[in-house]
Each structure stands twice: as structure tokens, then as C-alpha cells.
């Protein structure tokens, strides 16, 4: 599961980057951007809440939504940094660390208990859902959404590495331990 999670967090970073790049082309005044910032800032807050839970630390969020929306530029920088932190974090875990249960409180005060693996899977799937919402808003406003599917990621990122390795006559290896695929 460790390699799968690493793969998924590499994909999350790639997909977030593609979506943020597409939104930047629309500009801050676009109604699509405004709606996207609401959805993506929520994703960012949830990511940070679970990052604190994973470290068994307190966080200052009382809600999974911000009262004031950030500018796209600032949110983009925060999301990209957040994605890299998760990639780095996942690369440090072993099977025992992933299975470890963690008790925490949801923002509404309810008690929660999840394994690290469950928390990480939540972060990945939660982000995917909200990227899908943003893509739907883009389509409804006649704006081409980012091409951020998992198979596109595999083709672009890992496919280009595979082709490069083949051209060098080297053997391709899937990325692990915080690294991208390589020869």
C-alpha cells in the first residue's frame, strides 16, 4: 500500500498543478475562478487538518471552510507546498505506521478514529472529488477543464520516463520513497 499511496500523492500533486495552471489562465475576476477557490480552499483546509491529525498535533481550524477566500495565487502556492509535504510524509511511512490508529476530533467536536492509511486515502479521494466539482463548473461555463485524469498522469509522467529509459537502453523503475519514476 505504501507504493500505491506514494503514487496517488504524486498524482494528486500533478493533478492539482494542472488544475491550478488552468485556473490561473482565467484570472482572479472569472466567476469560475471564484467558485474554484471556494472548493479548493476547502480541500486545502481539510488537507491541513488531517496533516495535523497525522502528526498528532492540534490545529486552529474550527471549520473545514474559510471565512475569507484567498487569492488564487496564494492558494496555489499553499496547495503546491501542501502536496509536496504529503509526498514527503508518505515516503517516510512503513506498514506499521500506516496501520497505526489515531484518535482525533472533527471540527464539530465529534470524536474520530482512523488509521494513518485511512486518513491518507481520505485526503486523496477528497481532493479528487473537489477537483471534479471544479471541472464541472468549468464545463458549465464553456471553459475546457484541466486534463487531470489518472491515466493521463500515467501516460505523461511515467510514460515519458519509460520512453526515456528505453531510448537509453536502461530499465525503467517505478518511483518510490519520495522519488519519481526513473531509469
**Domains with residue ranges and CATH for the chain:** 2-146 (1.20.120.450), 149-183 (no CATH)
Residue 166's pLDDT is 66
Residue 177's pLDDT is 45
The string of DSSP codes covering the chain is -HHHHHHHHHHHHHHHHHHHHHHHHH-TT-HHHHHHHHHHHHHHHHHHHHHHHHTT-----SSSS-SSPPPHHHHHHHHHHHHHHHHHHHTT--HHHHH-EEEEE-TTS-EEEEEHHHHHHHHHHHHHHHHHHHHHHHHHTT-PPP---HHHHIIIIIHHHHHHHHHHTPPPB---TT---B-
Residue 159's pLDDT is 72
Residue 178's pLDDT is 44
Per residue of the chain (183 residues), give pLDDT as tens: 568 999 999 999 999 999 999 999 999 999 999 999 999 999 999 999 999 999 999 999 999 999 999 999 999 999 999 999 999 999 999 999 999 999 999 999 999 999 999 999 999 999 999 999 999 999 999 999 999 889 899 888 877 666 666 667 666 555 544 455 665
Amino acid at each position: 500500500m505504501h507504493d500505491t499511496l506514494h503514487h496517488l500523492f504524486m498524482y494528486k500533486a500533478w493533478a492539482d498543478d494542472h488544475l491550478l495552471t488552468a485556473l490561473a489562465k482565467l484570472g482572479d475576476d472569472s466567476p469560475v475562478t471564484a467558485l474554484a477557490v471556494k472548493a479548493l480552499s476547502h480541500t486545502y483546509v481539510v488537507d491541513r487538518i488531517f496533516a495535523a491529525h497525522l502528526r498528532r498535533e492540534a490545529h486552529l481550524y474550527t471549520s473545514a471552510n474559510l471565512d475569507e477566500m484567498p487569492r488564487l495565487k496564494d492558494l496555489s502556492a499553499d496547495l503546491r507546498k501542501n502536496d509536496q509535504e504529503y509526498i514527503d510524509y508518505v515516503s517516510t511511512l512503513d506498514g506499521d505506521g500506516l496501520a497505526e490508529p489515531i484518535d482525533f476530533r472533527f471540527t464539530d467536536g465529534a470524536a474520530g478514529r482512523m488509521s494513518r492509511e485511512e486518513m491518507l486515502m481520505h485526503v486523496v479521494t477528497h481532493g479528487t472529488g473537489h477537483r471534479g466539482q471544479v471541472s464541472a463548473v468549468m464545463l458549465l461555463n464553456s471553459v475546457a477543464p484541466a486534463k487531470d485524469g489518472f491515466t493521463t498522469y500515467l501516460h505523461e509522467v511515467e510514460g515519458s520516463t519509460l520512453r526515456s529509459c528505453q531510448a537509453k537502453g536502461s530499465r525503467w523503475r517505478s518511483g518510490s520513497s519520495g522519488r519519481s519514476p526513473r531509469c
